[in-house]
Amino acid sequence: MPRKKSQPERKKPASAMTAEIEGAGSVLNQPITQTIEQNYMPYAMSVIISRALPEIDGFKPSHRKILYTMYKMGLLSGQRVKSANIVGQTMRLNPHGDAAIYETMVRLSRGNESLLHPYVDSKGNFGKAYSRDMAYAASRYTEAKLEPICKELFEDIDKDTVDFVPNYDNTTTEPTLFPARFPSVLVNFNVGIAVSMASNICSFNLKEICDTTIALIRDPDCDLHDTLLGPDFPGGGYLVYDKAALEQIYRTGRGSVKIRAKYRYDSSANCIDILQIPPTTTVEAIMDKIVDLVKAGRLKEISDMRDETDRSGLKLTLDLKRGTDPDKLMLKLFKSTPLQDSFSANFNILIAGSPKVMGVREILQEWVAFRTECVKRRIYFELTKKKEKLHLLEGLQLILLDIDKAVRIVRETEEESEVVPNLMIGFGIDQTQAEYVAEIKLRHLNREYILKRTAEVEQLREDIAKMEDTLSSKKKIQGVIVQELKQVAKEYGQPRKTQFLFDAQEAEGEEEQHPDYAVHLFLTKEGYFKKVTPQSLRMSGEHKLKEGDEIAQHIETTADAHLLFFTDRMQVYKSFAYEFPDTKVSLMGNYVAGDLGFEEGERVVAMAVTKDYAGDMLFFFENGRVAKVPLTAYETKTKRKKLANAYCGKFGLEAAFQIVQGQEFQITTTGRRVLLVHSDLIPEKTTRDTQGIMVLNLKKNQKIASVQPYVPGSLSQEHRYRTKTLPAAGALLREEDTQATLF
C-alpha cells in the first residue's frame, strides 16, 4: 500500500499564538506616577544609596571596596604592588570596569593631592587635582599600598564592630561600613551627584575635628568655633573669613565660603608666582581666563604668562609690565578670574540608608553614636572571647587537683567516644571543658604547664569585670572614644594648609577707578575704532584710513561711556570707552573684531554709545520692515561681554541707528523711490529680535538701498515723500533731489 505523502505542519496564525500567552497583546492603561514608581524609583534609590552619597564613615561604596581589598591584600604593612593587581582584586567586590575602579583609586592617592589625608600611598604618575591636562599613568605603570592612617579605619574590623554582607556573586563578604576611629566624613573632601540630589563636603583639619568631637562629647552645647576654625583644603590658599557664612555651614550643612589663591611677588624678576589655587578650579582654567581678559583688552599689566609647575609643586608665573602694582593687579584678578572662587557646601550624608543634610554638630553627634556602637560591639566581642577562655581554664584548674585521675580515666576508657563523658563525670565539668582537657598533648600533662595556664584565670576575671563595667557605663564608653581621638590627633595631626584672611574689605577687592574725560569716538566702515581727546583732535590733520575705508560714525562722549558694537551675525559686543587706548587721528586705530574676540568673518555694522541706556535702536531691514528696540534691552546686571539675538536675523539688515529722541529718516529703494519716516511713528518692541513693522511697500525684486538721517531742506517739496500712515510706497525721486540721496 503506497505511503501517504506527509503534509507540512501548518503554522498557527500569530493571533492564535498570542492567545496562548496570558495577557499578550493587551494594552494596559497605567498612570505615569505608577510607571515612575515601578521603573524609575528603584534606579534612583540605587544611585542614591549604593553609589553617589557617602555614609557616616566618610566613604562611598566604591571607596570602601577598594580600600578593603587593599587591606585584605596585606597592603597596610607590606610593600607596594602594581595598581593593576589592586584593580583586578577589587573587581571581586566591584563589578564595574577596571577604568572606573582605577580612577577612584587615583583620587584617594597621595600623588593626586585631592585629599587632605590621602588613604593610598602611591608611586608613579597619579596626575594632579589642580591640573586639567596632567593625566595619570595607566595602572600597569603605577604602584600603591595603604597609608598608615588607614590603620585607624580598619582597627578592630575583624572583631564584629561592623556588619558584613555578601558581595555581588555571593563568593565572599565585605563590610557595610568602616569602624573609623576618627570622623573621616569631615576630614576629607567628598563630592557626589545622585538623582535629584548631590553632596559636596569640604575637608576640615584632622586635629581640629578631633578636638571638636571631644569638646562635643563633654559638652553637647559647646561653641564649635572655639575648636573648629574653618575648612582646610588640600591645595591650601586663603579662606576669606566670614563667621556668619561659617556659622550657617556649621548649623545647616549648606553655605558658601570664598577661597583665594596664594601668591608671592618677585621684585628682582618683576613677576608674580601663584603657588596655591582654590580647590574648585585648575591651572588651565585660570590661564584660559587670563588669556581671554588680555585679548579683550581688560588686562594690560601682564606681558607674559607660563606654567612652571614641576615636582616641587604648583607654580604659575605672571610677568608684569614696568610700573605695575602687583597687589592691585591681584585684586583685579581675584575679581575677574577663578583665582578667587566660592566653595558651596552641601553636607548630604546617608544615615541608616536615608539621605540627610546635616550641620557639623549633627554630623559629629551621628558619628559619636556610630562609634559608640562600634566600641560596644568590640568590647562585647572581646568579652565573649575572654569568658570562653576563662571557662576552659576553670576546667583545666579542676584537672590540677588530680592529674593522675585524669590520665587514669583516659587510659581505662575502652571507647574513644566515652572519654569526654567520663571526664565530665569524673571532674564535674561540662562538655566544652572536657573536650579542651581531652585535646591536651601528652607533653603538657605536667604541673608546670597547667599552673602557667591557670595563672591567667585571675587576670581574665579582672578583665571581664572591667569590660562589663565599661559596657554598662555610657561615660566610660565615651572615655574610650575620647582617648582614641586624642591618639589619632597626636599621631596624624598636621598644621593647617589653608590660612585665613580676616580683612573682609580686602577680600572683596577694590573697584577699579577709571579717569573720566571728554573723548571723540570714531568708527569706520571696515571696523576700525579710534578714541581721540579733543586736544589731540584739534592738533591733528586728516584721518589715516585703510584704502577704500571711511568714517561711518563720529560721537562725542566721555571715557566712561558704554559701547555696544552690533555685528552682521545678530550679536552685540559690549565694552567701555576706557578699555580702548587713546590714539591719534594719524593712526589706524584699534581693530574692534580683534580686540573684542569676534567670530571669524564677523564684522561691525553699527555702534551705540550710552551711559544710562536711554533711547532706542532702529533696525532697517532690506524688505521694508523697521524694528524699534529700547536700549535697556541690552543692559545687563552682570558684566557680560556678548549678547546673542541682538536683532532679527530673518531679513537682511540695511542699517542700524541709535536715537535718543524722535528723529526723521530718509529711506531710498533700488526702484528710486524715497520715503521720509519719523521714528515716533514706529512702535517700540520689548524683545531684541522682534521683526518690527512693515514701513515701506516694495515692488517685486526691489529692496531698500540706503537709509540716512534726514537733513531738513535737503529735498525740494519734501512733503511729497512723507506719509501719515504706514506702510507706504514712497514717492519717485525727482531729478533735482538726486544729490540728497546715497543712491
- How far is the C-alpha of 174 from the C-alpha of 169, rounded, in Å? 12
How big is the chain, counted in residues?
743
Helix (H, G, I), strand (E, B) or coil at 230: coil
DSSP string, 249-291: HHHHSEEEEEEE-EEEEETTTTEEEEEE--TT--HHHHHHHHH
Helix (H, G, I), strand (E, B) or coil at 360: helix
- How far is the C-alpha of 71 from the C-alpha of 65, rounded, in Å? 10
Are the C-beta atoms of residues 526 and 604 closer than 8 Å to each other? no
Rounded (5°) CA angle 502-507-511: 145
For 575-586, b/e burial (b = at least 16 CB within 10 A) is bebbbbeebbbe
Helix (H, G, I), strand (E, B) or coil at 199: strand
Are the C-beta atoms of residues 373 and 160 closer than 8 Å to each other? no
Q: Cite the beta strand spans of 301-429 per DSSP E.
A: 302-307, 316-320, 340-346, 348-351, 354-357
Instruction: List phi, psi (to 5°) of 530.
Output: -130, 135
Which DSSP symbol is given to 683? P
- In the chain, the amino acid numbered 178 is F
- How far is the C-alpha of 674 from the C-alpha of 718, rounded, in Å? 10
- How far is the C-alpha of 103 from the C-alpha of 94, rounded, in Å? 13
Q: Which three cell numbers stand for residue 443?
A: 607533653
By the 10 Å C-beta count (0-12 exposed, 13-18 middle, 19+ buried), 566 is classed as: buried
- Which sequence positions are flagged as catalytic? 141
Contacts of 144 (CB under 8 A, 6+ apart): 70, 75, 80, 81, 83, 86, 105, 109, 120, 121, 122, 123
- How far is the C-alpha of 266 from the C-alpha of 272, rounded, in Å? 6
